[in-house]
Structure 1
Amino acid sequence: MGGVEGGLVLLKDQKGRAFLVRLRPGGVFHHHRGTVPHEAILEAGPGGRVQTHLGEPLSVHRPTLEEYVLHMKRSATPTYPKDASAILTLLDLAPGMRVLEAGTGSGGLTLFLARAVGPSGLVDTYEKRPHHLKQAVENVRAFWQADNIRFHEGSLEEASLEKEAYDGVALDLMEPWAVLGVAAEALKPDRFLVAYLPNITQALELIAKAEGLPLVLERVLEVGWREWEVRLPVAHPRFHQVAHTAFLVAFRKWKVS
């Protein structure tokens, strides 16, 4: 995971606003309430505090995976952490497993998958848009140092995949049905394929296209995540909530006899 010196820190101000910062020699962080040298942030370290030259207090943190994905540079809309967590559960991942992903996007879900399978596991991720793949590689390498991810430029349809080699498949594509046959063949029997889809029309089309393949529909989920604002003695739901993000469609593979 990203270190501190030469790595990433997350600064939070008094209003809870978060800022992802890569520390560098001679660097200065600019807040609308003043500046603070990177050396002071490094000296404070994770769990410490610094002040801008105008007296604004900032807390220093090592970014969690959730925080990093929400604040990293994006070339595409990332898989929200609430959905990524559900995908890991639906795929039933464990250390040492092999996972197939398409498309990589900004690399958010890739990071969740890589950490779930651990350094002894493997994630093969495919992205056909070069600029998205470039950003994803940069995002992933800035946070995750383990060498358990293989990036592939191209479509999964054109990939040469080993039969029944993967413990799970994650699809984040506009038309996942186009690669469904290839993905199903690469999936081990009795293991799971999960697709991330923005609207229910896509989900229904994917389910219809799965007919004739050795895949049985397990469930269709829409993940809710309701945050609360607590300022004692008052508590109420936050006014700005992340409501609908996507539908998760999960299949289990039958054994082909």
Structure 2
Amino acid sequence: MSKIKNNSPVLFFYNNSKKWLAKISKKESLHTHIGVIKHSDAIGKEYGSRLITNKDKYVYLLEPTMYDYVMKIQHGTQIVYPKDLGYIIARAGIGDGQKIVEIGTGSGSLTSFVANIVKPRGHVYTFDVDENFMKIAEKNIKKAGVSKYVTQHNLDLKTAKTMPLEEMDAALIDLGDPWIVIPKVRQMLKGSGCVFAICPTMNQLEKLTIALVENEFTDIESTEHILRTIEAREGKTRHSFQGIGHTTYLCFARKAFFERESRQLTEKTPKKIIKKPASKTTVKISKKISKKPS
């Protein structure tokens, strides 16, 4: 039986639109429109239990998942939503023990989600240039409990002369101009390593795809993922009137070797002309002709 203690993370769940993520502290109370929720009342209870507020409303004490951390994350930038996160993990085959490079930490939602997948033997190396965003991301990563599996770098890989990493399993790019770093990403990836780029617009997809082909990537795929929730109730089930529309486009590719250099070298090398020796008949004829007077 998993019981809630002081400092335990808890999701106070009232309904799908009203839920609060907190770390339990004996002296803390949560003041909401459904009443006051005392943290101390949750201590000693099993996850899944419920509390009654001073307004006779009840909330369930749920153990937070990574989905909850992502959705309740402090936003410094636009986050990557779970509907996109799941496809990134599945398509790139990200798993325990892998080494991931992320360019553009943002608020740390993608960082936290991926770190939770590659732990305990894997690691995420994330790069950003904005120190303010990095501080927000650091707090979010810590809150999600995956700081041990993340290393943050304040470095602009666009202008870096040497790459700090090599033989990475996958690269995740969340920049306004992802095509700029594709040559750098190629240097850091292992053969057949995956790259995923977050692109809010189709214009970005076009420029990115051109760069991927130029830098010898294959299996290029661009997708958009739309999630629609259903209000399932007896006798009146229908589509939800609320939902998340377009969030981003995703572009996937894998590092390959087109062998362009070897082909170009072959084309530039002049072919040797091999002269065939004259046949015996030809030699005899030439001799006879040479004996004729002019």
TM-score range, shorter chain: over 0.9
Worse overlay, 210-219 or 225-234: 210-219
CA RMSD of aligned residues (A): 1.8
CA pair 128-190 structure 1, distance change in 2 beyond 3 A: same
- Give the deviation of 1:133 after TM superposition: 0.6
Does the residue aligned with 2:232 lie in a helix, a strand or coil? Answer: strand
Does the residue aligned with 1:19 lie in a helix, a strand or coil? Answer: strand
Structure ranking higher in strand proportion? 1
CA pair 97-256 structure 1, distance change in 2 beyond 3 A: farther
Higher relative contact order (CA 8 A, sep 6+): 1
Does the residue aligned with 1:42 lie in a helix, a strand or coil? Answer: coil
1:182 paired with 2:178, answer no
1:129-140 to structure 2, matched below 5 A, reads: 129-140=130-141
Aligned-partner residue type, residue 117 of structure 1: V
Aligned-partner residue type, residue 84 of structure 2: D
Partner in structure 1 of residue 194 of structure 2: 192
With the length of structure 1 as denominator, give the TM-score of the two structures. 0.93
With the length of structure 2 as denominator, give the TM-score of the two structures. 0.81
1:96-175 to structure 2, matched below 5 A, reads: 96-145=97-146, 147-159=148-160, 160-161=162-163, 164-175=166-177
Distance 1:51 1:42 in 2: 14
Q: Deviations along 1:53-107, whole A, 9 cap, x unmatched?
A: 1111111111111111111211111100110111111211121110100111111
1:246-257 to structure 2, matched below 5 A, reads: 246-255=248-257
Residues 72, 139 of structure 1: 8 Å contact kept: yes
Stretches of structure 1 lacking an aligned partner (at least 5 in a row): none
Does the residue aligned with 1:161 lie in a helix, a strand or coil? Answer: coil
1:1-257 to structure 2, matched below 5 A, reads: 5-14=6-15, 16-145=17-146, 147-159=148-160, 160-161=162-163, 164-255=166-257
Distance 1:230 1:141 in 2: 36
Stretches of structure 2 lacking an aligned partner (at least 5 in a row): 260-294
Distance 2:167 2:82 in 1: 27
- Give the deviation of 1:163 after TM superposition: 6.2
Residues 4, 45 of structure 1: 8 Å contact kept: no
Residues 20, 72 of structure 1: 8 Å contact kept: no
Number of aligned residue pairs: give it.
255
State the percentage of identical aligned residues. Answer: 25
Distance 2:79 2:142 in 1: 16
CA pair 193-104 structure 1, distance change in 2 beyond 3 A: same
